[in-house]
Structure 1
Amino acid sequence: MIFTIPNLLSVEELETIMTTLADSEFVAGKLTAGRQAKLVKNNQQVKSGTLESQKLKQIVQDALKKNTLFQAGIRPKKIHSLLFSRYDAGMSYGRHSDNALMGEWRSDVSWTIFLNDPLSYKGGELAIEGADDEKYYKLAAGSAVFYPSSTLHRVDPVTEGTRFVAVGWVQSRIRDPGDRELLFDLDTAKRGIFAKYGKIPEVDLLGKSLSNLLRKWAE
């Protein structure tokens, strides 16, 4: 399941992030890529372990933890990796899939949060491959797209300006993406029926099914 969250970050959070990025040290993105991804990764990332990187990570992690759509759609067990990337003109990230394991954690869901105005740079679209098509994402500042880590994807070359994004990976409590989508659909239906009709028997039945499926699938 691929879905987007508009305005995941507030205007104030974006301002703090962009100000912090301006004072941050960037290093070659290849340093955090797998052996094959190194061949196609051409960007820069905020140096890890610095005060600036810790401040940036905390802002994004807090925003994700309080977002109900993120929680319902992904059922996160651990947000285990988070990078802040910069693409200047000529930079790109070629076709690749993400590593299955990052340290001790599995990568189930990948995400990209767009940090600056899409009109401030040209190119730099995130392309995600499906079975018979591609979908392109270049979202408003503060908005995010979430997609299975198993997909083939790329960042097309930036031809003008600078693209800033935060990217990360999550291990879900629900390993199978189809199961996550089913739980999300049931939860959305339950919330919608409750909002319209209140606590009727159908809401109780949907809640029971959700709980029992979680007991069956949760890790």
Structure 2
Amino acid sequence: MNILPIPAAFSAADCARIVAAAAEAESADARLVRGDRAHNIRRADLVWLDDLDGMDWVTDRLIDLVRKANHQFHFDLDALRESPQVARYDAAREGHFDWHSDIGEGAVAARRKLTFVVQLSDPEAYEGGALELRPSLATTTADRAQGSAVAFPSFVLHRVTPVTKGTRHSLTIWAHGPAFR
């Protein structure tokens, strides 16, 4: 199996605490830009948990969850080189992230092996915004339950469909290791 669903990875109260902390922080526009042109690949705002006081508990929980999830994948993991990221996809901005994989250019992105995404929003708080994964020819939709998570190899294609009403929040972290062989 290329995708591991993890129900109830965080409680509703935990999710609300993370979203509230991220709302207090200055966010960065996550539109992807090449040269002078902004592409319509992603529209979201991002906050990195390492920039927020009192959020070490989230990273500790993620480390434990990633370690347990890797029992299924058996990847050679050696670090979490990037801060956990809270993304806000808002209907007012047509928030979305088109098909992509998390392995990319640059020293850090090239070492991503396992992606871990937590659904922070109550599914009644937004419409659209489905996390869809394509580990093969078939597309799978991640659980929308608040606090549920999904782990998958970072090379798996995935997207967040456009949010059409409300706001969707998610928490993402990547586990890193030596290049795949």
Following the alignment from structure 2 to structure 1, what is the Cα–Cα distance between the partners of residues 111 and 178?
A: 11
Counterpart-to-counterpart distance in 2, 1:59 and 1:114: 17
Is the Cα–Cα contact under 8 Å of residues 111 and 179 in structure 2 kept in the other structure?
no
- Decide which structure has the larger Cα Rg and report it: 1
Match of 1:83 among 82, 85, 91: 85
The aligned counterpart of 1:108 is 113
| Residue pairs, 1:124-203, within 5 angstroms | 124-172=129-177, 175=180
Residues 166-218 of structure 1, C-alpha deviations (whole Å, 9 max, x = no match): 11211247946xxxxxxxxxxxxxxxxxxxxxxxxxxxxxxxxxxxxxxxxxx
After superposition, residues 3-152 of structure 1 pair within 5 angstroms as: 3-30=4-31, 33=32, 35=34, 39=39, 40-46=41-47, 50=51, 52=52, 55-56=54-55, 58-67=56-65, 69-74=68-73, 76-81=77-82, 82-89=84-91, 90-100=94-104, 103-104=107-108, 106-152=111-157
Q: Under a length normalisation based on structure 1, what TM-score does the superposition of the two structures give?
A: 0.67
The TM-score, its normalising length taken from structure 2, stands at: 0.79
1-structure distance, mates of 2:33, 2:153: 18
Amino acid at match of 1:66: D
Give yes or no for contact 2:119–2:144 (8 Å, CA) kept in 1. yes
- Measure how far apart 1:109 and its partner are: 1.2
**How many Å apart are 1:139 and its aligned residue?**
2.3
The alpha-carbon distance between structure 1 residues 65 and 169, as it changes in their structure 2 partners (threshold 3 A), is: closer
Separation (CA, whole Å) in 1 of partners of 2:124 and 2:105: 35
CA contact (8 A) 1:4 1:143 kept: yes
Secondary structure of 1:162 counterpart = strand
Match of 1:78, SS? coil
Unaligned runs of 5+ in 1: 177-219
Cα shift at 1:138: 4.0
Separation in structure 2 between the aligned mates of residue 34 and residue 102 of structure 1, nearest angstrom = 15
Deviations 1:127-151 (A, max 9, x none): 1113321011242111111111112
| Alpha-carbon distance, 1:16 to partner | 2.2
How far is the alpha carbon of 1:47 from its aligned partner?
Answer: 5.8
- The one-letter code sitting in structure 1 at the alignment partner of 2:64 is K
- Structure with the higher fraction of residues in strand conformation: 2
Structure 2 unaligned regions, length at least 5: none
CA distances 1:7-57 after superposition (whole Å, capped 9, x unpaired): 212344323212212312222013xx5859x6201111116763x2x544x
